[in-house]
Amino acid sequence: LQVRGPGLGVVGVSKGAEVALAMAAFLPQVAATVWINGTAFLHGNPLVYKELRIPPIPYYTERVLFTELGAMDNSAIFADPRDPAYCASAIPVEKIRGKVLFVVGEADRSFNSKLFAELALARMPPESGRILSYPGAGHLIEPPGSPLCSNSSIRGTPRPVAWGGEPQPHARAQEDSWQEILQFLELQLGSVAAMKL
């Protein structure tokens, strides 16, 4: 198996989408980024890269809400990224040389992912990104056939976390976004059929 080059594709979900966007901003070899329900600002932890340090927006854990099932709804723990006090925490998406596909679940109960995608796209070079937005889809948009995971336990949290989503629209989002992601990666990175095995 050989890795084609020189461009690389990066796919990230949630905090991983934040990391993927930062990789696209700082690593010129990243030609295609798939960002699924993430943020466009550093949260919780700073980004340190070479001499650069981007400060994070703190989590406001006292704002956590609980669902009727007792799961943690973290949507309120994020400060409004449009507040001028947080401009230094923005990932410098204007430096991205590749293309970005933003995949948004509008029923995400973890982040206001649509807002983050729109804020990032507004600062990017023209034609360098686009948003796929799915009403009724939750946070964890995974490949088709994956069950809706509307609540789950994650390390470091005292209770399960609410991810949101309704079964049918979430399933449709997974099916549609998967095809869009494959087409996007093929367009930006070249056809899989062109690979040497």
**Which of the residues are catalytic?**
14, 108, 139
Bridge partners (DSSP) listed for residue 162: 151
Spatial distance between the Cα atoms of 23 and 17, rounded to a whole number of angstroms: 10
Q: Which of 5, 4, 37, 7 is nearest to 23 (CA)?
A: 7
Q: How far lies 27's CA from each of 23, 30, 129, 161, in Å?
A: 5, 6, 17, 32
Q: Is the distance from CB of 63 to CB of 152 less than 8 angstroms?
A: no
Surface-to-core class of residue 128, CB atoms within 10 Å of its CB (0-12 exposed, 13-18 middle, 19+ buried):
middle
Of residues 35, 16, 40, 11, the one with CA closest to residue 103: 35
All residues at 6 or more sequence positions from 182 whose CB lies less than 8 Å from its CB, including other chains: none
